[in-house]
Amino acid sequence: MIAAIEPSWYLILAAMLFSIGAVGLLIRRNPLVMFMCIELMLNAANLTFVALAIKLGDINGQTAVFFVMVVAAAEVVVGLSIIVSILRRKPGATADDLAELKG
Protein backbone atom coordinates (compact mmCIF):
# COMPACT_ATOMS: atom_id res chain seq x y z
CA MET A 1 0.00 0.00 0.00
CA ILE A 2 1.24 3.21 -0.93
CA ALA A 3 1.60 5.31 2.07
CA ALA A 4 -0.11 8.69 2.02
CA ILE A 5 2.21 11.38 0.96
CA GLU A 6 3.00 13.42 3.99
CA PRO A 7 3.12 17.19 3.60
CA SER A 8 6.56 17.11 5.15
CA TRP A 9 7.84 15.27 2.11
CA TYR A 10 6.79 18.20 -0.01
CA LEU A 11 8.60 20.50 2.38
CA ILE A 12 11.74 18.42 2.17
CA LEU A 13 11.49 18.37 -1.63
CA ALA A 14 11.01 22.14 -1.62
CA ALA A 15 14.03 22.60 0.64
CA MET A 16 16.13 20.48 -1.66
CA LEU A 17 14.96 22.38 -4.73
CA PHE A 18 15.68 25.68 -3.01
CA SER A 19 19.16 24.56 -1.98
CA ILE A 20 19.95 23.37 -5.49
CA GLY A 21 18.76 26.72 -6.81
CA ALA A 22 20.71 28.70 -4.26
CA VAL A 23 23.93 26.76 -4.76
CA GLY A 24 23.48 26.93 -8.52
CA LEU A 25 23.05 30.66 -8.36
CA LEU A 26 26.21 31.00 -6.32
CA ILE A 27 28.48 28.75 -8.30
CA ARG A 28 27.34 28.96 -11.92
CA ARG A 29 28.40 31.85 -14.14
CA ASN A 30 26.20 31.44 -17.13
CA PRO A 31 23.46 34.04 -16.80
CA LEU A 32 20.82 31.77 -18.25
CA VAL A 33 21.60 29.01 -15.81
CA MET A 34 21.65 31.47 -12.94
CA PHE A 35 18.26 32.66 -14.13
CA MET A 36 16.90 29.15 -14.10
CA CYS A 37 18.25 28.67 -10.59
CA ILE A 38 16.27 31.67 -9.47
CA GLU A 39 13.16 30.14 -11.02
CA LEU A 40 13.91 26.95 -9.19
CA MET A 41 14.08 28.79 -5.88
CA LEU A 42 10.85 30.60 -6.60
CA ASN A 43 9.08 27.36 -7.39
CA ALA A 44 10.49 25.73 -4.26
CA ALA A 45 8.82 28.53 -2.34
CA ASN A 46 5.61 27.91 -4.28
CA LEU A 47 5.69 24.25 -3.39
CA THR A 48 6.08 25.15 0.30
CA PHE A 49 3.12 27.46 0.09
CA VAL A 50 0.90 24.86 -1.51
CA ALA A 51 1.95 22.06 0.82
CA LEU A 52 1.34 24.11 3.92
CA ALA A 53 -1.92 25.46 2.53
CA ILE A 54 -3.22 21.93 2.23
CA LYS A 55 -1.89 20.90 5.61
CA LEU A 56 -3.35 23.90 7.40
CA GLY A 57 -6.46 24.04 5.22
CA ASP A 58 -5.80 27.70 4.47
CA ILE A 59 -6.54 28.93 0.96
CA ASN A 60 -4.30 31.96 1.45
CA GLY A 61 -1.21 29.88 0.77
CA GLN A 62 -2.48 28.87 -2.66
CA THR A 63 -3.41 32.47 -3.41
CA ALA A 64 0.09 33.57 -2.63
CA VAL A 65 1.37 31.11 -5.21
CA PHE A 66 -0.53 32.92 -7.93
CA PHE A 67 1.12 36.16 -6.92
CA VAL A 68 4.52 34.54 -7.01
CA MET A 69 3.84 33.08 -10.42
CA VAL A 70 2.75 36.46 -11.77
CA VAL A 71 5.82 38.13 -10.35
CA ALA A 72 8.00 35.35 -11.73
CA ALA A 73 6.46 35.80 -15.16
CA ALA A 74 7.14 39.53 -15.03
CA GLU A 75 10.66 38.79 -13.88
CA VAL A 76 11.17 36.42 -16.77
CA VAL A 77 10.16 39.15 -19.20
CA VAL A 78 12.57 41.70 -17.77
CA GLY A 79 15.35 39.30 -16.88
CA LEU A 80 15.39 37.46 -20.17
CA SER A 81 15.45 40.65 -22.19
CA ILE A 82 18.39 41.90 -20.10
CA ILE A 83 20.21 38.62 -20.63
CA VAL A 84 19.53 38.69 -24.35
CA SER A 85 20.84 42.19 -24.71
CA ILE A 86 23.93 41.31 -22.68
CA LEU A 87 24.67 38.30 -24.80
CA ARG A 88 24.23 40.35 -27.92
CA ARG A 89 26.82 42.81 -26.80
CA LYS A 90 29.21 40.21 -25.47
CA PRO A 91 28.54 36.79 -26.92
CA GLY A 92 29.29 34.12 -24.40
CA ALA A 93 29.48 36.53 -21.51
CA THR A 94 29.39 35.20 -17.99
CA ALA A 95 27.98 36.97 -14.95
CA ASP A 96 31.49 37.72 -13.76
CA ASP A 97 32.29 39.59 -16.94
CA LEU A 98 29.60 42.07 -16.04
CA ALA A 99 31.56 43.71 -13.26
CA GLU A 100 32.02 47.15 -14.80
CA LEU A 101 30.17 48.92 -11.99
CA LYS A 102 32.41 47.53 -9.27
CA GLY A 103 33.85 50.00 -6.80
Partner 1 sequence: MIDLVWLVPFFPLVGFLTILIGGRKLGEPKAGHFATTMVLLSFAAAVGIFFDLLSREAADRSEIVTLFSWVPVGDLKIDMAFLVDPLSSTMLLFVTGIGSLIHLYSVGYMHGDPKFSKFFLYLNLFVLSMTLLVLGSNLLVTFLGWEGVGTCSYFLISFWHTKDANASAGKKAFVTNRIGDFGVMLAMFLAFGAVGSIDYAVINESALAGTLTQATATGIAALLFLGAVGKSAQLPLYVWLPDAMAGPTPVSALIHAATMVTAGVFLMVRINPVLGAAADWVPTLIAYTGAITALFAATIALAQNDIKKVLAYSTVSQLGYMFLAVGTGAYVAAIFHMVTHAFFKALLFLGSGSVIHGMHDEQDMRKMGKLFKLMPITASTFIIGWLAIAGVPPFAGFWSKDEILLFALAESPILYVIGIVTAILTAFYMTRQVVMTFFGEQKWGSLANAEEAAHLESAADVGAADADADGNDAAAVADQPAPVETHGAHGEFKPHESPPTMLIPLVVLAGLSMVGGIIQLPSIGIIPKGAQHKLLDWLHPIVEFGEGPEERGIGEAIIKGTWAYDNKMILIAIAVACALIGIAGAFAVYQKKMAKPIEPKLFADGWNYDNMISWFMGNPGRKGFDGVADFDTKVVDGAVNGVATLVRETSNQVRKAQTGYVRQYAGVIGIGVVLLLGWFVVIRGIL
Site residues for partner 1 per CB under 8 A: 22, 25-27, 29, 34, 95-96, 98-103
> Of 38 and 47, which has the nearer Cβ to partner 1?
38
> Of 2 and 98, which has the nearer Cβ to partner 1?
98
DSSP assignment, residue 90? Answer: S
Query: Is residue 83 within 8 Å of 35, Cβ to Cβ?
Result: yes
Query: What is the nearest approach in angstroms of partner 1 to the Cβ of residue 13?
Result: 20
Q: What gap in Å lies between CA 48 and CA 7, rounded to an integer?
A: 9
> Of 29 and 90, which has the nearer Cβ to partner 1?
29
Query: Is residue 34 within 8 Å of 95, Cβ to Cβ?
Result: yes
Q: Which amino acid is at 93?
A: A
Query: What is the nearest approach in angstroms of partner 1 to the Cβ of residue 58?
Result: 18
Query: Is residue 68 within 8 Å of 46, Cβ to Cβ?
Result: yes
Query: What is the nearest approach in angstroms of partner 1 to the Cβ of residue 2?
Result: 33
